[in-house]
Amino acid sequence: MASVTGSSFAISSLSSSFNPNKAYLKTSSLSIKGISFPSLRSKPAARRFSISCAAKPETVDKVCEIVKKQLALPSDSAVNGESKFTALGADSLDTVEIVMGLEEAFGITVEEENAQTIATVQDAADLIEDLVAKKC
C-alpha cells in the first residue's frame, strides 16, 4: 500500500472572478516530501455548449392560440408565455380542457402529475417540447 506523508500543495495564482469564457487555474505547483514538480499552466476552456430551457417561440404562440380558443378569449387578448391560466379566468375544469386541447394539437399525452405542474403558458410550452422530444 502506498502512502504520502508530509505533502503540501500550493496554488500560486487563481483567477479571481468567474467568467465562463476565461475561468481557469493560471499556475500551480506541487511539492511532495521536498520534491517539487514544475508549475502547471492551463489554458482557458472554450465554451462547449449552452443550455436553453425556454420553448421555441412558435410553440409558445401555438399554446397561446389554443388557450385563447379553450377559454373563448377575444383574439386581441394579451396572452403570452408569462400568462397564468388562473389570471386568464381558467378554473380547474378549464385547465383540464386546455391540456386536452394541447394533447390533440401536438399529438402527445400529458400524464396527470405533469398536468398539475402547468400554471402558465410557458410551463405548458416547455412541457410540450420535452414530451415531443421524448416521443421522437
- Longest pairwise C-alpha distance within the chain: 79
Instruction: Take residue 60 and report the three cell numbers written for it.
Output: 409558445
Q: Is residue 91 annotated as part of the catalytic site, yes or no?
A: yes
Produce one character per residue of 44-73: b if its CB has 16 or more CB atoms within 10 Å, e if not.
eeeeeeeeeeebeeebbbbbbebbbebbeb
**Catalytic residue (one of 61, 91, 94, 130):** 91
Parallel, antiparallel or unpaired: strands 7-13 and 27-32: antiparallel
**Residues taking part in catalysis:** 91
